[in-house]
């Protein structure tokens, strides 16, 4: 009987067939495969998170940009993973923010969009903005309410950008800037802060918009149900996990805390 294809082999096949990208494994262990995409100067680390406990590690490698992908997310959120890689490789369909309309969206619209197009847990936030191209929602940003800060003027408020994403397969050029301006014009924040996922980004795009790093946030720890591929945040009381199920742990790279002072 022919052996079932490994997830990493399916991943490389999908890169070629869906994105037209040639990729090769340059180093491999039981836990992780290092996949090089020469044409994009990109190194992808593919972790076998359904077979081993996994800790993401960032190692300098020829000065290449690195992206870290776990097997469970590749299988469970395949469409989003491939769309984000397509955007990272410059293969997404590009539209310009000036051709979109900035609108307020409701909680249900924001949550639905995140479930379809964002990798992380959807959040409702307090203030929600979207960019419409015709009648199609192309990008959203979800913000917290304003928070008072120590040692600032009484009217000073800090807002958090909780979630931001494009429709899968598309990139709205200038979209994040336009979404941020929607909040700024409405509520005049003293600053906007956010957390950047280090598995995917160095924060360079945010630096171009005036955000500055305030340091690293420690890695997050998850438990993965190896049967249904569902992730559980360790320590979250609202996400109980049956202790009898087979599970492994995953530790990501953590985040970068960034802030834009206005």
DSSP per-residue codes, 2-26: PPPPPHHHHHHHHHHHHH----EEE
Range 38-43 average pLDDT: 90
Residue 35 neighbours by CB under 8 Å, 6+ apart: 8, 11, 12, 23, 24, 25, 26, 43, 44, 45, 46
Is the pLDDT at 238 greater than 70? The verdict is: no
Q: What is the pLDDT of residue 219?
A: 96
H/E element, 172: strand 170-173
CB atoms within 10 A of CB 193: 18
Run of H or E residues at 197: strand 191-197
Confidence of residue 102 (pLDDT cuts 50, 70, 90): very high
Task: Please state, for a pLDDT cut of 90, what percent of the chain lies above it.
Answer: 84
**Cβ contact 95:173 at 8 Å:** yes
- At 2, the pLDDT band (50, 70, 90 cuts) reads very low
Q: Looking at the predicted structure, is the pLDDT value of residue 3 above 60? A: no
Kindly state the DSSP code that residue 150 receives in the 8-state scheme.
Answer: T
Q: What is the pLDDT at residue 21?
A: 94
In sequence order, the β-bridge partners of residue 197 are: 255
- Structure token pair of residue 134: 């015709």
Model pLDDT, residue 167:
98
- Per-chain mean pLDDT for the chain: 93
């Amino acid at each position: 009987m022919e052996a079932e294809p490994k997830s990493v082999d399916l991943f490389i096949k999908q890169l070629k067939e869906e994105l037209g990208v040639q990729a090769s494994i340059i180093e491999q262990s039981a836990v992780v495969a290092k996949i090089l995409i020469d044409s994009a100067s990109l190194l992808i680390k593919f972790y076998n998170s359904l077979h081993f406990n996994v800790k993401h590690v960032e190692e300098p490698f020829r000065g290449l940009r690195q992206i870290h992908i776990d097997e469970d997310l590749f299988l469970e959120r395949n469409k989003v993973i491939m769309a984000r890689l397509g955007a990272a490789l410059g293969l997404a369909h590009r539209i310009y923010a000036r051709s979109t309309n900035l609108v307020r969206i409701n909680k249900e619209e924001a949550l639905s969009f995140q479930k379809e197009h964002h990798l992380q847990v959807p959040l409702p936030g307090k203030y929600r903005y979207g960019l419409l191209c015709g009648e199609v929602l192309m990008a959203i940003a979800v913000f917290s309410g304003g928070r008072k800060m120590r040692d600032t003027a009484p009217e000073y408020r800090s807002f958090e950008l909780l979630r931001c994403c494009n429709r899968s397969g598309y990139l709205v050029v200038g979209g994040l800037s336009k979404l941020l301006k929607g909040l700024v014009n409405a509520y005049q924040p003293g600053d906007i802060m956010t957390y950047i996922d280090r598995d995917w980004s160095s924060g360079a795009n945010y630096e171009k918009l005036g955000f500055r790093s305030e340091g690293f946030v420690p890695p997050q720890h998850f438990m993965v149900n190896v049967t249904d591929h569902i992730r559980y945040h360790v320590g979250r009381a609202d996400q109980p996990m049956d202790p009898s199920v087979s599970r492994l742990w995953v530790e990501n790279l953590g985040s970068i805390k960034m802030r834009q002072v206005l």
